[in-house]
Structure 1
Amino acid sequence: MKLGVFLCDDVRPELQGKHGNYPTMFSNLFAAVDPNITLQFYRVIDGQYPQTLNECDGYLTSGSRYSVYEQSRWINVFQGFIHQLYFQQVPLVGICFGHQMIAQALAGEVVRSEQGWGIGTAQATINLKEVQRCPWITEPPETLSLLVSHQDQVLRSPAKCITLAGSNFCPNSILLVGDHFLGIQGHPEFTPEYLFDLMKLRKSSYPTATYQSALDSLIQPTDHLQVTRWIIQFFRYWQFINEPHSFNKTE
């Protein structure tokens, strides 16, 4: 299976030597779960897009330092493209910025959260009733932990959307829109070491208590591999239900 990854930013230059850029992070993550997955990267921040929508079996987005509601040409073009993917029934998984872009492109609402920064290891409660409608979510736990780094949040989700996981801090942590758009606020591709170094660079941006609490949280285990399995199974399930199948009848 070939997945396209829309690159909406770069890792800070001073961190790339130690941690790599986003292509390295996503490649390492998917290789750890399923080495048969092929990734194709598109720098949408520089206007690079697939030539055709069926160039890949599905698409993901990276996170970004930018906000989806900023009036920037590349963001506006990307929003229109996400809108096109949705109505052309092309499967997409949005990570952080991409999660918020799904809401923004489909008439939801994204705002700077009054609760401030979400950083460190964040836990969300799984909506077990709703995930029963998602056969690609296997062995769901009651709670899910992922690394996060965001100030913006989805305040109002789009139409035809169900909330698969949320918390008091971030009620819309994981959203399924229709049956082919999945938004995840957390970062399965981040490592605790990377987030630790990123937080140190941004230390002046955080309230002292928020920063210290986030640092302390980085020792907690995360469910990044389980979430990545679900992402792969999401794309495979979409492939399966949309491909013609032949059945041999036995007398």
Structure 2
Amino acid sequence: MRIAVLMTNTDESDFSNSWPKDGEKFPAMMRRVRPEWEYVVYSVKDGVFPEVLTGIEGVLITGSPHSVNSGDAWVERLFGLIREIYAAGIPMFGACFGHQAIAKALGGDVAANPKGWVFGLVEKRFADGRSLPLYASHSEQVTKMPKGAEVIASGPDCDVAGFVMGRGVMTTQYHPEMEPAFIAALVEHLADELPSDVTERARASLVKEADMQAMAERIALFIEGQSA
């Protein structure tokens, strides 16, 4: 399968540039379960968009510290592309910023979390009773669902931790692409910028690791049109 990775991460700090970019992280995550797939990266945050959707069989939209409410030209253009992808019936997965962008593009709303930052390892609780440990790093979240969307998961201080729209959309508010070493370094990198209690909770949560493989398999099954 040919998968388009829409890279939205605007962080060009020395810290960010010392780690693999999201255009590498997402394919690396998916290669754990689907090494035979082809991954084509488009840096949409730099204005690089697919010219056509022909031949694209699945879409992954990455996370970003940028806000979907910024009004920036590339974000508005991304909203339009999301609507095109959805109308074309191409399976689309979004993580964090991607989750929020899909929601907003298709008629939902995103706003600041009144309870502040959700950071570190969290348990994503699915509607069927299952749970999955994933890494979180967000202070905005979906506050209104698009018409026809179904919430499939919740998490700490996050009622909409993931949703689906038929066979066309699956999302998560979290970061399945993050490795344990990266999130640990990110917690320390942001320690001077975030409230101390947020940092301490995040540090304490990292005694356990996220299950990247399980989430990657869910994403792959969704793109293949199977039950996740």
TM bin (shorter chain): over 0.9
Greater strand share, structure number: 2
Indicate the SS of the match to 1:107.
coil
Spell out the pairing of 1:41-190 with structure 2 (5 A cutoff): 41-128=41-128, 142-190=130-178
Greater helix share, structure number: 1
Q: Scaled by the length of structure 2, what TM-score is found?
A: 0.93
Question: CA shift at 1:88, angstroms?
Answer: 2.1
1:10 and 1:21 in contact (8 A); partners too: no
Distance in 1 of aligned mates of 2:32 and 2:90? 25
Residue of structure 2 equivalent to 1:241: none
Greater radius of gyration (CA): 1
2:167 and 2:222 in contact (8 A); partners too: no
Distance in 2 of aligned mates of 1:167 and 1:190? 17
Deviations 1:133-179 (A, max 9, x none): xxxxxxxx621211011111001111111111103511110100232
**RMSD of the alignment, in Å?**
1.6
2:151 and 2:164 in contact (8 A); partners too: yes
Question: CA shift at 1:55, angstroms?
Answer: 3.0
Aligned residue among 162, 180, 183 for 1:192: 180
Distance in 1 of aligned mates of 2:209 and 2:191? 23
Number of residue pairs the alignment of both structures matches: 226
Deviations 1:4-57 (A, max 9, x none): 100112554423565211122123212222211211000111221112212321
Deviations 1:54-107 (A, max 9, x none): 232110111111111111111111111112211222211011101001110111
Indicate the SS of the match to 2:159.
coil
Q: Which runs of 5+ in 2 are unaligned?
A: none
Q: Which runs of 5+ in 1 are unaligned?
A: 129-140, 239-251
Residue of structure 2 equivalent to 1:234: 222
Aligned partner of 2:111: which letter?
V
Q: Scaled by the length of structure 1, what TM-score is found?
A: 0.85
User: Percent identity, aligned pairs only?
Assistant: 27
Spell out the pairing of 1:196-215 with structure 2 (5 A cutoff): 196-215=184-203
